[in-house]
Amino acid sequence: MSSLYQMSPPRFALVRPLPASFAQALSEKPPITPIDLALAQHQHQAYVSALRSAVGEVVVVDAADECPDCCFIEDTVVIVGRQAMITRPGAPSRRIETSAVAASLERLRTRGEDLVIEHLSDAALLDGGDVLYVGGRLFIGLSRRTTATALEEMRARMDCPVHGIEVDEGLHLKSMLSALDDQTLVVAEHPSALRMATEIKAVLGAGGSLITVPDASAANVLRLGRYVLIQDGFPQSSGRLQSICGERGLMPVSLKMSEFIKADGALTCCSVIIP
């Protein structure tokens, strides 16, 4: 099975442009300065350009103005190997986002991609932001958006080991941690993030390691072949990440995500990667 963390470029990235309603996206705390839609568009375009340079093909799912959060496409599907599990997002306003994503995956399948498209049951709630695939395992955050029923269903239906991790702070499991490769987690220097990362590292075993960064948002990085998307605007965190990338022969690409952070988003949430 292709790994998300190999040096060769992932085959596909699915993205969803910003809807005109993006300024009304959900947010845990209303931002001090409201979302600047023009700036958000600019940041999203830079994100998509970075993806175009790093993956085989970018598949664009049409935006839906009735879904202010639709650009956070990661929450709508979990893909491991050929298995694509369409989620049932935790926020009621986001549940209608999944059908357009399922239809795009179906089009890829009819083009010959070896994908098996499945749907979580109506009993489950799960956001893809709570799902980290690393070391051949799925770690699923139990958060305000993702339920124990969803964890059990994923355990029963996914073709890989599945572990639950309590999320007691932040929106999602990946709000304060992410993976650089199959053994290395990037994690915020924050008690709750460190506790979750330590639990994951224990499952990964002797090779598992943690890279800590001072800024919570900056702990969300997106590995794409030999590139690593990191967040601009957090000098201490990006300095640390840039030097680690250099040591490992990876190329950091800095992107500003300020308008997405206002809606509790970051780098992983704006795409779905198919290795």
Catalytic residues: 172, 269
Residue facing ligand CIR at closest CB distance = 129
Pairwise CA distance, residues 90 & 218, whole Å: 24
* Binding characters for ligand CIR, 157-186, by CB under 6 A (x = yes): ---------------x--------------
236, 215 in Cβ contact below 8 A?
Answer: yes
Which amino acid belongs to residue 260?
F
Q: What's the closest the beta carbon of residue 269 comes to ligand CIR, in angstroms?
A: 3
230, 211 in Cβ contact below 8 A?
Answer: no
Q: Name the residue among 72, 117, 134, 70 with its Cα closest to residue 275.
A: 134
Question: Taking CB under 6 A as the criterion, which residues in 79-138 touch ligand CIR?
Answer: 91, 94, 128-129
269 binds ligand CIR (CB under 6 A): yes
| 216, β-bridge pairs | none
Q: Cα separations (Å) of 43 from 74, 106, 141, 259?
A: 17, 29, 28, 8
- Name which of 13 and 239 has its Cβ closer to ligand CIR: 13
Backbone torsions φ then ψ of 259, nearest 5 degrees: -75, -20
Instruction: Tell me which of 74, 181, 182, 259 binds ligand CIR, using CB under 6 A.
Output: 74
Q: Using alpha carbons only, what angle is made at residue 112 by residues 44 and 160, rounded to the nearest 5 degrees?
A: 75
* Stretch in the footprint of ligand CIR (CB under 6 A) among 44-52, 95-103, 230-238, 259-267: 259-267
- Name which of 177 and 245 has its Cβ closer to ligand CIR: 177
Instruction: Tell me which of 97, 153, 259, 264 binds ligand CIR, using CB under 6 A.
Output: 264
The span from the first CA to the last CA of the chain, in angstroms, equals 9
141 binds ligand CIR (CB under 6 A): no
* Stretch in the footprint of ligand CIR (CB under 6 A) among 6-14, 29-37, 78-86, 263-271: 263-271
Q: What's the closest the beta carbon of residue 69 comes to ligand CIR, in angstroms?
A: 4
Phi-psi label, residue 117: left if phi above 0, alpha if psi -120 to 50, beta otherwise: beta
* Residues near ligand CIR, by CB under 6 A: 25-27, 69, 72, 74-75, 91, 94, 128-129, 172, 263-266, 269
